[in-house]
Structure 1
């Protein structure tokens, strides 16, 4: 069956409260924070099918995928709206800027022959690096601030894997873009609904 027959207009329905539509109905923007959510549907596999052989393989694959662009913070397989999704939390440098980062929370529905992604983008605005600076001082300039990547200890990433990105700090920095990205991801995983015909498609690698 042609791939386009597997591509419903909205394969994922999610909570858009507080968001305004932007750009062809596939992007929504939070006017208060500037954060954006986009829905994408593409042909072909989203990544190597061998990554689906186990969680360790999946995490290592994504850690390497994002190493040159920034750094993978978290990856997991999660229930998502009647299907299963690969969840990724990533940080990348702010485009065309000397400082700052953008945090991305991504849910990928690993279907065949088309896959869908719901992507939340939370950029740093104003003074950047506040969370990291405050924690670095609060922890007393820790020697273990930067750590080997937990999914691939030998991996070198463009942005460091460090203690400041741990979820335990989010409550102390609720307005930080990383905290916003995690908070949105938690809500999306609980409230999103995958269109039934799309959810019924076979998964990448046959899992």
Structure 2
């Protein structure tokens, strides 16, 4: 039996699908992409009407689990999506970090997410490579940890810091944060959304 078609398709060149599951894995890194559909609205509909409100809302919602690095409202496969880049502690390595780039398609009664994910701190990994190299280059600056750009008064489970800046991705192309951002761009450029999802009523706010 063939695997079911996911509601969001993207360029999977170089990926291997895990059987009939909606998960594609990059064999070179072990990082992957997942597609999921859930019932109900994913967050407060009022967030969709104002980008600053949306960014602060996501930063606060995720603060206890990690840290939102980026959030934006973007066109996506003919519809719209909330784009997020986030980080969270690795559940099996206290020094490791999981990174994800997520597109959330926000419909009134259902939402779909496509997530590129990669982890630093898997067994055998040396953690903190990006941070260590940048400390050496920048001289371990006093302003390494920064106020959160979407909520300066917010305390997050993982700090927002200078090493999260996408300007450093080219120096660390194999780091999971660089990888998920690159896959986010690839997904954004190639994604198509199935009509049965795209044609559902919008959650709120301007299209």
The interval holding the TM-score normalised by the smaller chain is over 0.9
| 8 Å Cα contact 2:84/2:101 also seen in 1 | yes
Structure 1 counterpart of 2:187:
188
Structure 2 counterpart of 1:127:
126
Work out which of the residue numbers 12, 24, 29 in structure 2 matches 1:28.
24
Distance across 1 between alignment mates of 2:5 and 2:105: 15
Cα-to-partner distance string for 1:97-144 (whole Å, 9 max, x where unaligned): 121101011000001211110011111141010101110121112111
Query: How far is the alpha carbon of 1:9 from its aligned partner?
Result: 5.0
Cα-to-partner distance string for 1:25-69 (whole Å, 9 max, x where unaligned): 311111111112111011100111121120001000110111010
Tell me whether 1:82 sits opposite 2:78 in the alignment.
yes
Distance change in 2, residues 1:206/1:9 (3 Å): farther
Cα-to-partner distance string for 1:164-198 (whole Å, 9 max, x where unaligned): 01000000111100000000001110110111332
Structure 2 counterpart of 1:58:
54
Unaligned 5+ segments in structure 2 are none
Tell me whether 1:91 sits opposite 2:87 in the alignment.
yes
Equivalent position SS for 2:95 = coil
Q: CA RMSD in A?
A: 1.4
Structure 2 counterpart of 1:73:
69
TM-score normalised to structure 1 length: 0.92
Equivalent runs, 1:138-177 vs 2, <5 Å: 138-177=137-176
Distance across 1 between alignment mates of 2:110 and 2:160: 32
Equivalent position SS for 2:98 = strand
Q: Which runs of 4+ in 1 moved over 6 A?
A: none
Equivalent position SS for 1:31 = coil
Structure 2 counterpart of 1:4:
none
Unaligned 5+ segments in structure 1 are 1-7
Structure 1 counterpart of 2:136:
137
Structure 2 counterpart of 1:3:
none
| 8 Å Cα contact 2:134/2:163 also seen in 1 | yes
Equivalent position SS for 1:25 = coil
